[in-house]
Amino acid sequence: MSMSAASRPYHHGDLRSALLASAERTLREKGVAALSLRELAREAGVSHAAPGRHFKDKQALLNALALTGYDRLAQTLDTADDPALPLQPRLTALARAYLAFSVDNAALLELMYARKHEPDATERMAAAIDRTIGSLERVLADAQKRGEIVEGDPEHLTLVTGAALHGLASMTAACMLTPEAALGTVDELVHHLLHGLKPRP
């Protein structure tokens, strides 16, 4: 039986990308504690020293994985966003895209939100966060300008909205909700975020 492309040892080309792909598989299957540059080198069929040309240590590898995750999340949200939609369906589409990403990438998302990053990655991480969380803040700020939602600090409103979405994602990752049930809750969650829980006259 032939090996899949994903598990075939690295032979040529972009070693950095091959190491990141292998690291993400390990993260997904075994968790962050199982990640080892030495083991990744063995899987890629290169010397133990070879990964050091791309990642000075395990933390540098984790930073690179987190940045890769933010890039993918940004692409996911950009694809889902339609500025022409009214606010509720627009937010619902973004929330659904975020939740689907979190279901498919639970361990990666946890790593992305980890606070421990090496100092030289701080600026890149801040830019990556702005491309994702910042995009939601801009949607809410635009809605405020149109009078569609309450006034106030857009960053705080984004925190409240993000907490609700990430809470749903965390409950799904903890198997308190199935992915199907979580995705089925998105419409109602966004509705309650926009309209509150009080009965309307």
- CB-count exposure of residue 6 (10 Å: 0-12, 13-18, 19+): exposed
User: What is the percent of the chain with per-residue pLDDT over 90, rounded to a whole number?
Assistant: 49
φ/ψ of 26, rounded to 5, equals -65, -45
Is 50 exceeded by the pLDDT of residue 43?
yes
**What integer pLDDT is reported at residue 28 of this predicted model?**
87
Specify the higher pLDDT residue, 2 or 154.
154
DSSP annotation of 41: H
Domains of the chain: 10-55 (1.10.10), 57-195 (1.10.357.10)
Separation in Å, CA 106 to CA 50, 103, 171: 29, 6, 11
CA gap 24, 6 in Å, rounded: 11
In this prediction, residue 117 has a pLDDT band, given cuts at 50, 70 and 90, of low
The verdict on pTM exceeding 0.85 is: no
pLDDT band at residue 7, thresholds of 50, 70 and 90? Answer: very low
Which residue type, as a one-letter code, is found at position 47? S
